[in-house]
Structure 1
Amino acid sequence: MPTLRVGSVVSLYSSFLERVGNISKESLGNFIITEITHEVSQGSYYKNRFKAIPATIKALPSPKVRMPLAETQMATVLSNADPQGKGRVRVRMNWQTNGMQTGWVRVMTPDGGSSDDVKSNRGFVFIPEVGDQVLLGFRHGDPARPYVLGSLFNGTTGGGGGQGNNCKSLTTRSGSSLKLDDSAGSVTLHDKGGVKMNFDGAGNQTLATKASATTTVGKDASLLQMDKDGNIELKANTKITLTIEGSKIIITKDKITLESPEIEVNGTTSATVNSSAINMQGGTTNITTTTINLKPKPAEIPNDGGTYLVATRSVNIESQNVDIVGGTVEIN
């Protein structure tokens, strides 16, 4: 049995004839045999041929073996709970059995990265759900470097875009959706709680809620809130103005102003105005009624030669017509 084999360390020497009868020998060093061929024939004849590398080498060279090239693979998502929070998934390819699975695999997206203002999740973030079927690609065809090319509908999950392929949509696991309908050019936004916002493609916008709707501008500086019980609340920190051409209502924290060519107040049962002081100013004041009841508080009568009508309890004036004429008329 030859003592030389692959992995053996051999010492090689070279010999040369310096002159007749004098042969010199010089060491070429120690070598590790990497490939050897033995030849044996009759008469105990033996020879070999081998390839070797220097024994001082620290790492063996890789053999020239052609690397396998992986093709696209179907797989099923087993988990999307990436322990590093990077949006990766773990999948099982169709040929894997007995609990086999991949490591954490990156997911391709139409747009992804960062910016000066957004350090993570800038772009399109839609991570496949557990149980989804996905298609795997492999970077440089390397089986050890898979990535998810995208998700695939199947005979159970696919619904298509309807007749004429007019419907496009994004729908999440809970049922929230954004739907675009090319037949009408409409856009509809739904959430799980039943809120619906619709742009019908004809210039109309509709917002419907089941509970309440709140619009806030600034840090609660302006607020509009409506609820399902028919209550509407409008809040502002500074001023509320309602304007229709020449008519205007202005509300501030200490004053309400009504401006209009004509103001009409109707109370089908009664109308009450309460204040510590009431000022009525106008070129003409017309009061039309069947009965006027004046109930003043006790007043002092000035001693200035004027004429005063003073009632200690009440004054009732009942008539078809009442005319009060005077340079100065005071009713206290």
Structure 2
Amino acid sequence: MISDFQPDGGGPRYYGLYPGIVTDIEDPQKLGRVQVKFPWLGSDGEKAVRAWATLLSPYADNDQGLQILPEKDSQVVVGFEAGDLRRPYVVGAAWNGREKQPATPQAANNRRLIKTRAGSVLEFDDASGAAKLTLKMASGHTLALSDADQSVTLTHANGCTVTFNAAGQVEIRANATVEVNAPVLNVHAAAANFDGIVTCTTLNASAAITSPVYSPGAGNIW
């Protein structure tokens, strides 16, 4: 809605919200603004009026805050301080017939997500009794935290997994070698089970080393 004129001769006031198209996100003055064009103010898309608009954020402070800039050519919604066309603010972005939502809404409305241009997704599923948080990349790498089975699972795109379960167990599944490199490795357990062949350069035992067929230091003749 256009209403009255500014006393300083700055033209008509523009109250309400208006559509705009982002044309630049690199603010030369580094004031947290994006450049927006308003096709409805020009005779055509190329001659549309452009302005640097302050980008609103739910959290903004000195060297901190939530920084998510809109893409160039994306549609945003703009308001003007006291209706002054020279003081625009981007209050949000908008999906339309060209830019679609990343997920189809469902009646239960359990899903909240952030999806980036590269296909990385941070998703919160608030299903009753089965809440889940998932961080996933387009390549297939995934981190999933589940309340349903009280598990935390890290999955590589090649299928390797590390899982923490409700019983306190940690399971590592690999498609090839699992390698540990450290100056010293300490393993503390009442029992350690190994299947297959165990190879080492030096084995020092503070007590006997026993097996059904061979027990060095326990009566064998060297």
TM-score by length of 1: 0.48
Residue of structure 2 in register with 1:302 after alignment: none
Q: Which structure is larger by alpha-carbon Rg, 1 or 2?
A: 1
- State the one-letter code of the partner of 2:107: Q
Instruction: Give 1:141's aligned amino acid.
Output: G
Choose between structure 1 and 2: higher strand proportion: 1
Unaligned runs of 5+ in 2: 1-6, 161-171, 194-200
**Which residue of structure 2 lines up, in the alignment, with residue 163 of structure 1?**
107
Residue 107 (structure 1) aligns with? 55
Question: 1 or 2 for the larger relative contact order (CA 8 Å, sep ≥6)?
Answer: 2
**Aligned residue number for residue 196 of structure 2:** none
Query: 1:243/1:93 Cα in 2 relative to 1: closer, same or farther (>3 Å)?
Result: same
What is the distance in 2 between the residues matched to 1:83 and 1:64?
A: 27
C-alpha distance in structure 2 between counterparts of 1:65 and 1:182, whole Å: 53
Alpha carbons of structure 1 residues 176 and 96: separation in structure 2 relative to 1, 3 Å = same
Question: What is the aligned-residue RMSD (CA, Å)?
Answer: 3.7
Instruction: Assess if the C-alpha contact under 8 Å between 1:133 and 1:151 holds in 2.
Output: yes
- Give the % identical residues: 26
Q: Compute the displacement of 1:235 (Å).
A: 1.3
2:219 to 285, 303, 311: 285
Dislocated runs of 4+, deviation >4 Å = 63-67, 84-87, 226-229, 254-263
Q: How does 1:256-267 map to 2 (within 5 A)?
A: 257=204, 263-264=210-211
Are 1:145 and 2:87 an aligned pair? yes
Kept after mapping to 2: 8 A contact 1:161/1:168: no
Tell me the equivalent position of 2:147. 201
> Match for 1:79 among 10, 24, 28?
24
Where does 1:242-253 land on structure 2 (aligned, <5 Å)?
242-245=187-190
Cα distance between partner residues in 1 of 2:115 and 2:135? 10
Question: Is the Cα–Cα contact under 8 Å of residues 136 and 148 in structure 1 kept in the other structure?
Answer: yes
| Deviation readout 1:235-291 (Å, 9 max, x if unpaired) | 113x2112222669xxxxx9755578875488xxxx9xxxxxxxx54xx4247xxxx
Q: Structure 1 stretches of 5 or more lacking a match?
A: 1-62, 115-119, 214-225, 249-253, 272-279, 288-330
The alignment partner of 1:95 has SS state of: helix
1:198 deviation in Å?
A: 0.6
For residues 230 and 196 of structure 1, the distance between their equivalents in structure 2, rounded to whole angstroms, comes to: 19
**What displacement does 1:161 show?**
3.4
Q: Following superposition of structure 1 onto structure 2, how do residues 1-332 of structure 1 map, counting pairs within 5 Å?
A: 68-71=12-15, 72-97=17-42, 98=44, 99=46, 100-114=48-62, 120=63, 122-156=64-98, 157-158=100-101, 159-183=103-127, 184-202=130-148, 203-210=150-157, 230-237=176-183, 239-245=184-190, 257=204, 263-264=210-211, 281=217, 284-286=218-220
